Amino acid sequence: MQHSKQMNLMSMFHAICDFGSRLSGSKSEADALDYVEGYFSNLPCGEVVTHRVSYPGWSSSDCWIEIDNKRFDAFALPRSGSFSNHSARVQVVDAGRGTPEELNALRASIAGKAVVVTHEFMFAPDHVHRMKKYECAQALGATAFIIANPDAATGRVSGSVHGTVPGFGVSAFTGDALRSAAQSGKHVQFHMKSAHTPASTRTIDWSIKGTDPEFSTEEIIVCAHLDGHESSENAMDNASGVAVIMALAKELCTVANFPHTVRILIFSAEEFGLCGSKAYVDKLSLEKRAAIRAVFNLDCVGGSTRFGAMTSAFAELKEEAERCAAQSEIPVCVHEPLLKNSDHYNFAVAGIPAMRLIAGFGDADSRLRHVLTEADMRAQVAQEDLVAALKLTHALIQSMSLRQTGKHKASQEAS
């Protein structure tokens, strides 16, 4: 039976990867949402509804860079701007890693030029998000922004930004060519066709009512985002989280004995500024917000059996993460500051206790280093990764529900 559950978990994971990149606004995203909604609709328990979400859409049909008459492929960074007439020929500035300090040190030479920076491992305390690099380059008058993969083996990088400056994601090979052009003062041709148009998607909402009438009006939420980037199958980010949640829902239909209602939310447009979760939280009444006891956001839970718990400065979530890690014998590193890097953020800023569960946090050698590159494919995720994530998530729900009802101590004493 346990083996069968694990195989079903991996089957769902592969099915999601089969849809491809799932970029917001694409047929791939729509088909994947249909599949997941159908899955929840066919479960033997619970109730599923959908919520329409309007958001500022974006698309790109053509993107490349040309140096010395040699063309290099690039990804257009979602939600970036575009050139007038789609092209520009400008010089390049090498800003190294691209920290705000490095960019500001080059402020005299950036205006009117393209700035190339380095992509870095995202899941570490000292990570500088590409959005900070992009915003700083834009403020300094850059004509274009390029983020280059430092790993020669994993191709081009992607990652959404938000602004008027065109953004390009490139490979290590293209990054080296751009830095060489910067050093020699050559002009480089940049080309991108992109468009900003209103768009819509949907949030899938499935819930199973709590068993204790005193507490069933209160909720514990587990969520994940389905959308991705055009760079890959987005297996770690975030087919892994959606597959674990789907398996969790099926598990709840057979073993659910939680006093609280458990609600599962599958968001999209996460890569477009967390739009799906923002729309959901914005529509919640103050009473509904107060009834949410905790939110566990599963984002990038494949790629390692070691996890990070981003607890958003909520002390009770830190305690739960540490308790469940010890009980489950699954390594978990707690990172307390609130980060705007996934859907838990919109709940946390509304005062709702929310954390992100993530694999490989602080481990730059983990497979998570391939997120947002062309290497984020299903081969990066092992069955044991997802099984550990499922076990840990179930433990978090159970522990939080018992804690909120004051039954945690009694449960421990009984065991």
Which residues are bridge partners to 60 per DSSP? Answer: 194
Q: Where are the domains of the chain?
A: 2-46+209-414, 59-196
For the segment 387-402, the average pLDDT, to the nearest whole number, is 93
Domain 2-46+209-414: assigned CATH number: 3.40.630.10
Q: Are 35 and 19 in contact (CB under 8 A)?
A: yes
Residue 383: pLDDT over 90: yes
pLDDT, position 411? 47
The answer to whether residues 190 and 168 touch, using CB atoms and an 8 Å cutoff, is yes
- The answer to whether the CB of 337 falls within 8 A of the CB of 314 is no
pLDDT at 350 over 70: yes
- Whether 415 shows a pLDDT value over 50: the answer reads no
Say what the pLDDT of residue 185 is.
97
Q: State the pLDDT at residue 214.
A: 87
Residue 407 has pLDDT above 60, yes or no: no
Q: How much is the average pLDDT of 65-74? A: 97
Listed residue (195, 185, 174) closest to 65, CA to CA:
174
- CATH number for region 59-196: 3.50.30.30
**Type of residue numbered 55:** Y
pLDDT of residue 412: 45
Instruction: Report the amino acid identity of residue 403.
Output: R
Residue type, 207: S
Q: Look at the chain and count its residues.
A: 415
Give the 3-state secondary structure of residue 114: strand
Task: Check if the beta carbon of residue 92 is closer than 8 Å to that of residue 176.
Answer: no
**Whole-number pLDDT of residue 17:** 98
* Three-state SS at 295: strand
| DSSP state, residue 331 | -
pTM: 0.94
pLDDT, position 361: 94
pLDDT of 233 over the 70 cut: yes
